[in-house]
Amino acid sequence: AQSVSQHNHHVILSEAASLELGCNYSYGGTVNLFWYVQYPGQHLQLLLKYFSGDPLVKGIKGFEAEFIKSKFSFNLRKPSVQWSDTAEYFCAVNAHSNYQLIWGAGTKLIIKP
């Protein structure tokens, strides 16, 4: 069965620190990959997505993610975080076979001002 694993449930960083959130998936076929963000009290928003082409994908608010097919990974990065990045981040994957999203459990990111 397909699954998505996010390595850290909680991450606490200071402002200006660099961020990397891990995401690994288990599926041998062709996939699309997504990162969603949920700011406190707000709804899920698409941060970035990968379908094909350049494995380094840039999203909104300075976030980027790199798809490494050999490692089944799609880690999210940001070189310098801000207090406003405090949110919960979800990695999700869908397979070209049925396009149903499989979700990770989420990572709660807290940025200390």
Partner 1 sequence: EAGVAQSPRYKIIEKRQSVAFWCNPISGHATLYWYQQILGQGPKLLIQFQNNGVVDDSQLPKDRFSAERLKGVDSTLKIQPAKLEDSAVYLCASSSPYRGQGKTQYFGPGTRLLVL
**Contact status: 11 vs partner 1 (CB under 8 A):** no
Which residue of 32, 64, 72, 86 would you call a contact of partner 1, by CB under 8 A? 32
Tell me the C-alpha distance between 35 and 24, whole Å: 12
* Site for partner 1 contains 7 (CB under 8 A): no
- Site residues for partner 1, 74-93, by CB under 8 A, read 90, 92
Q: Using only C-alpha atoms, what is the Rg of the chain?
A: 13
Q: Is 96 exposed, middle or buried (0-12, 13-18, 19+ CB in 10 A)?
A: exposed
Residues that bind partner 1 (CB under 8 A): 32, 34, 36, 42-46, 49, 51, 90, 92, 94, 96, 99-101, 103-106
